[in-house]
Amino acid sequence: MRIAVLGATGLVGRTMLGLLEDCAWVDGPPLALASPRSGGQRLPWRGTELVCAAVTERSFEGIDLALFSAGGATSRQWAPVAAAGAVVIDNSSAWRQDPRIPLVVPEINGQLVDGLRAGIVANPNCSTIQVAQAMAPLERAWGLDEVHVTTFQAVSGAGQKAVAELNRQNAGEAPSGSVFPRPIAHNVIPAIGAAVGDGAYDEEEKVLRELRKILGRDESLKVTCTAVRVPVLNAHSAAVRAVCARPVTPGEAAAALAAWPGVEVAPGPHDYATPREMDGRRTVHVGRLRQDPNDARALLCWVVADNLLKGAAWNAVQIAERLATGARR
Ligand SMILES: NC(=O)c1ccc[n+]([C@@H]2O[C@H](COP(=O)([O-])OP(=O)(O)OC[C@H]3O[C@@H](n4cnc5c(N)ncnc54)[C@H](OP(=O)(O)O)[C@@H]3O)[C@@H](O)[C@H]2O)c1
pLDDT in tens, 2-26: 999 999 999 999 999 999 999 999 9
Model pLDDT, residue 328: 46
Atom 41 in ligand 1: residue holding the nearest Cα:
35
* 175 DSSP 8-state letter: S
Rounded mean pLDDT of 136-153? 98
Mutational pocket test of ligand 1: of 5, 6, 11, 12, the residue with most ligand atoms within 8 Å of the beta carbon: 12
Alpha helices per DSSP H over the chain:
11-21, 72-82, 106-109, 126-142, 160-170, 202-215, 250-258, 275-278, 314-325
Which domains are seen in the chain, by residue range? 3-124+312-325 (3.40.50.720), 127-307 (3.30.360.10)
Please, what is the end-to-end C-alpha distance for the chain in angstroms? 19
Rounded mean pLDDT of 227-233? 98
Rounded mean pLDDT of 204-227? 98
Atom 48 in ligand 1: residue holding the nearest Cα:
157
69-73, 77-81, 171-175, 300-304: segment of lowest average pLDDT = 171-175
Q: Which residues line ligand 1 (CB under 6 A)?
A: 7-13, 34-35, 37-38, 55, 69-72, 74, 91-92, 126, 156-157, 159-161, 307-308, 311-312
Rounded mean pLDDT of 130-154? 99
Ligand 1 center–CA 190 separation, angstroms: 23
Ligand 1 center–CA 32 separation, angstroms: 13
Rounded mean pLDDT of 262-272? 98
Residue positions annotated with a catalytic role: 126, 236
Model pLDDT, residue 234: 98
Atom 45 in ligand 1: residue holding the nearest Cα:
71
Do 131 and 138 contact (CB within 8 A), yes or no? no
CA gap 165, 207 in Å, rounded: 25
Model confidence at 329, in pLDDT bands (50, 70, 90)? Answer: very low
Model confidence at 175, in pLDDT bands (50, 70, 90)? Answer: confident
Model pLDDT, residue 99: 98
Rounded mean pLDDT of 187-214? 97
- Mean per-residue pLDDT over the chain, rounded: 97
Higher pLDDT, 177 or 217: 217
Rounded mean pLDDT of 205-214? 98
Q: What is the largest CA-CA distance in the chain?
A: 60
Ligand 1 center–CA 320 separation, angstroms: 19
Mutational pocket test of ligand 1: of 11, 153, 165, the residue with most ligand atoms within 8 Å of the beta carbon: 11
Rounded mean pLDDT of 61-78? 98
Rounded mean pLDDT of 199-228? 98
Q: Which residues pair with 290 in a beta bridge?
A: 300
Taking only the tens place, the pLDDT of each residue in 285-323 is 999 999 999 999 999 999 999 999 999 999 999 999 999
Higher pLDDT, 153 or 328: 153
Atom 20 in ligand 1: residue holding the nearest Cα:
159
Ligand 1 center–CA 69 separation, angstroms: 5
Ligand 1 center–CA 239 separation, angstroms: 27
Q: Is the pLDDT of residue 162 over 60?
A: yes
User: In 3-state terms, what secondary structure has residue 163?
Assistant: helix
Cβ-based burial of 132 (10 A; exposed 0-12, middle 13-18, buried ≥19): buried
Model pLDDT, residue 327: 57
Nearest atom within ligand 1 for CA of residue 6: 34
CA gap 9, 141 in Å, rounded: 41
Rounded mean pLDDT of 77-98? 98
Rounded mean pLDDT of 166-190? 95
DSSP-derived secondary structure for 140-194: HHH-EEEEEEEEEE-GGGG-HHHHHHHHHHHTTS-S--SSSSS--TT--BS--S-
